[in-house]
């Protein structure tokens, strides 16, 4: 997991996060790259995840497509890709295999239902989104204008200006830990 942020996240912007009832998980349109180690963990816990999967998707061997890639920021250095399914009811007409009819992620629901952190089984890149990694592996945010203009974006324009550290507090606390996140909020010195 990354332990540093790009200075971009120290800015304040006129934006807010989407709400699931607004976006209906538009971010799940293209599926997700999953670290090979994360995938092994998901497979090892398939019995906990299967009860929360969309109907008919009880075989973990079908949860991936055939794409693989190297990723310098992935723990194992290798990533695999979740299967993307046609879905005429979803934004962009496709969705990740883990997306349920209630627009929740089966992996997150499984974590929560089994008394883990809700992101216990979620792939790193799912938790990170809409944040990204810069060339140095630091957590950052792409240019706001592009994100706010995209109807399926996880960000929405807002009247008030809010620190990005606050908007993305849950993710930053998850990646950096309570102490690391607290240090960011205190600022330099």
- Ordered by start, the domain boundaries in the chain are 7-186
| 66: helix, strand or coil | strand
DSSP 8-state symbol, 54: P
DSSP H helices, the chain, are 20-23, 36-44, 46-49, 106-113, 124-128, 144-149, 164-167, 169-186
Low-confidence stretches of the chain (pLDDT < 50) are none
Burial-class residue 20 by CB neighbours within 10 Å (0-12, 13-18, 19+): exposed
Bridge partners of 33? 81
| pLDDT of 189 | 55
Q: Report the distance separating Cα 179 and Cα 189, nearest Å.
A: 15
Name the strand (E) or helix (H) holding 96. strand 94-96
By residue count, the chain amounts to 189
Tell me whether the omega of the peptide bond preceding residue 81 falls within 30 degrees of 0, making it cis: no
| pLDDT of 3 | 78
- Going across the sheet that includes 64-70, the strands are 33-35, 78-82, 64-70
pLDDT digits (tens, 9 = 90+) for 47-99: 999 999 999 999 999 999 999 999 999 999 999 999 999 999 999 999 999 99
CA 157 to mean position of chain CA atoms: 20
DSSP H helices, 138-168, are 144-149, 164-167
Phi-psi region of 34 (alpha: psi -120 to 50; beta: other; left: phi over 0): beta
| pLDDT of 44 | 98
């Amino acid at each position: 997991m990354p332990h540093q942020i790009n200075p971009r996240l120290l800015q304040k912007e006129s934006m807010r996060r989407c709400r699931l009832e607004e976006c209906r998980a538009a971010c799940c349109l293209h599926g997700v790259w999953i670290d090979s180690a994360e995938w092994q963990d998901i497979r090892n816990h398939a019995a906990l995840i299967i009860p929360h999967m969309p109907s008919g998707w009880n075989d973990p061997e079908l949860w991936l497509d055939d794409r693989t890639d190297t990723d310098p920021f992935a723990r194992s250095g290798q990533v695999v890709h979740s299967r993307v399914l046609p879905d005429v009811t979803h934004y962009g007409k496709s969705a990740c295999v883990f997306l349920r009819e209630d627009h929740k992620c089966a992996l997150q629901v499984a974590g929560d239902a089994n008394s883990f952190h809700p992101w216990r089984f979620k792939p790193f890149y799912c938790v990170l989104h809409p944040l990204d990694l810069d060339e140095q592996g630091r957590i950052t945010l792409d240019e706001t204008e592009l994100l706010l203009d995209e109807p399926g974006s996880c960000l929405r324009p807002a009247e008030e200006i809010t620190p990005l550290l606050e908007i993305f507090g849950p993710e930053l606390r998850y990646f950096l830990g309570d102490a690391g996140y607290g240090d960011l909020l205190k600022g330099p010195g």
